[in-house]
Amino acid sequence: MPSENLYPFQWMWDSGFVALGTSHYDLEKAIQEIECMFSGQWENGMIPHIIFHSENETSYFPNFDFWDCSVNDGAPQKPKTSGITQPAVFGFILEAIYDHHKDNAEVVSFVKRVYPKVVKYHRFLYDYRDPFKEGLFFIYHPWESGRDNSPIWDESLNRIVIDKNLLPDYQRRDTSIADASERPTSYQYDRYVYLLELGKKYKYDGPEIAEHSPFLVQDCMMNAILIKSNQALIKLGNELGLDVSYIEAQNQISQNNFVSRFWNEDLGTFVSYDLRAGKQIAFKEIGGFISLFAKLANETQADRMISYLQKLHNDGYYLCPSFDVNSELFDSKRYWRGPIWPHMNSMIYHGLKYYNQEALAEIVKSDTVQLVDQFGFYEYYESQKHLAKDLSKGYGGNNFSWTSSSIIHLLSHS
């Protein structure tokens, strides 16, 4: 579970980071974490963003009965799941676990067992979410991006006109557990529910989603993570003597189109793309920096991104704020609109190392460790140092799983 009270089930990309952290001290548990996640994989290959292991815990919203995934014949009866997905982290996580434990026969057989399931998941993204065959897949719900309320989704969400009579009755639960000022607004929440209903109407994988969804976006971060995981699957597959031809061919298309679709020369970063509006979503935000993790930026592009991070550090920010600190939409307290997220830092840390930015990578690591050391294992943290110094804790949920796993993982690298 990401956090016992706020998120009492298994979340997809959290689970990947949790397995990675856990693998540093309890391999068996790490393997179990991933196998458990894959027990919820759909017949079409989708890995759902939530697995509801317990059907007795019904107070969460939206719960399994609200998702009602039985609309899709290929959704498992058990465990119950949600109907959307999250970032494709399992390829690179398998690779990281394998690299540390190559000599362990149990790990090798685990990797061989899960490998085809990860390929099947990537195939889902290419088959169901890439109608123009660009090698870049779309999402139709902000929750899929893992950056739920980032300002980059605002314009697409504003496009949704809600008819209150058609919106099902619902009661949020998150704001009774965490401070409402640190959570998405109710305006946003109505739109999250609207898009959930749209997915359900089209069985969560129908072509009508691409036709009708007002929210249809190619997320630069999710596509960078998919490419990173493709690269990992190619390397792993070659090492283990598995067939990599499908992933290699798809990845070639993805990598060829990534830069031209997502690079924004004015901002000097990668940005997401609004398929509905046919234009880039021109904001500086944390997702663009994950491209470093998949080595997608050329030297010049990387230099611009690196100088920006260096400047943020010089200007008194912890690295890496989740949104452009100079934008009027920046809110250092509200979820994905400004605060620091440790698991994002763990990916950017590795990305900076790939570009030989040892010193900056160290700042990312030590900022993360310092925040957690000072404030506890929270969900996310204040990004402005002058505000953080008057605080006694982090933001959002406490005892947060991927925060602790990211710390374990970061501390295991020098």
Min CB(405)–ligand GLC separation in Å: 12
The interface region with ligand GLC, picked from 7-15, 17-25, 280-288, 297-305 by CB under 6 A, is 7-15
Min CB(195)–ligand GLC separation in Å: 14
CA within 13 Å, CB half, 45:
16
Min CB(397)–ligand GLC separation in Å: 8
Q: How many positions of this chain bind ligand GLC (CB under 6 A)?
A: 7
50-52 and 263-264 as β-strands: parallel, antiparallel, unpaired?
unpaired
49 vs 203, beta carbon nearer ligand GLC: 49
Question: Residue 194's closest CA among 213, 175, 216?
Answer: 213
Build a one-symbol-per-residue string for 136-175: x at contacts with ligand GLC by CB under 6 A, - elsewhere: ----------x-x---------------------------
2 vs 237, beta carbon nearer ligand GLC: 2
Min CB(19)–ligand GLC separation in Å: 14
CA within 13 Å, CB half, 358:
2
Min CB(146)–ligand GLC separation in Å: 3
Out of 68, 148, 155, 303, the active site residue is: 148
Rounded Cα distance, 207 and 213, in Å: 10
Cα 268 off chain centre by:
22
Rounded to 5 degrees, φ, ψ at 67 are -65, -40
Out of 130, 134, 154, 379, the active site residue is: 379
The interface region with ligand GLC, picked from 9-17, 22-30, 72-80, 357-365 by CB under 6 A, is 9-17
Rounded to 5 degrees, φ, ψ at 198 are -65, -45
Residue 13 binds to ligand GLC (criterion: CB under 6 A):
yes
* Catalytic residue flag (residue 155): no
7 vs 381, beta carbon nearer ligand GLC: 7
Q: Is 35 exposed, middle or buried (0-12, 13-18, 19+ CB in 10 A)?
A: middle
Place of tokens 């997608």: 296
The helix/strand/coil state of 261 is helix
The interface region with ligand GLC, picked from 6-14, 90-98, 217-225, 286-294 by CB under 6 A, is 6-14
Residue 7 binds to ligand GLC (criterion: CB under 6 A):
yes
Build a one-symbol-per-residue string for 14-53: x at contacts with ligand GLC by CB under 6 A, - elsewhere: x---------------------------------------
Contacts of 79 (CB under 8 A, 6+ apart): 39, 40, 51, 52, 53
Place of tokens 């017949």: 43
Rounded Cα distance, 209 and 160, in Å: 14
DSSP state of 89: -
Residue 128 binds to ligand GLC (criterion: CB under 6 A):
no
* Catalytic residue flag (residue 148): yes
Longest pairwise C-alpha distance within the chain: 60
Question: Residue 78's closest CA among 108, 53, 106, 100?
Answer: 53
Contacts of 252 (CB under 8 A, 6+ apart): 135
The interface region with ligand GLC, picked from 8-16, 224-232, 237-245, 270-278 by CB under 6 A, is 8-16
27 vs 157, beta carbon nearer ligand GLC: 157
4 vs 99, beta carbon nearer ligand GLC: 4
Dihedral over alpha carbons 178, 183, 189, 195 (to 10 degrees) = -110
| Contact with ligand GLC (CB under 6 A) among 11, 204, 318, 395 | 11
The interface region with ligand GLC, picked from 11-19, 204-212, 237-245, 353-361 by CB under 6 A, is 11-19
The helix/strand/coil state of 272 is strand
Report the catalytic residues: 148, 379
- Report the interface residues with ligand GLC, using CB under 6 A: 2, 7, 11, 13-14, 146, 148
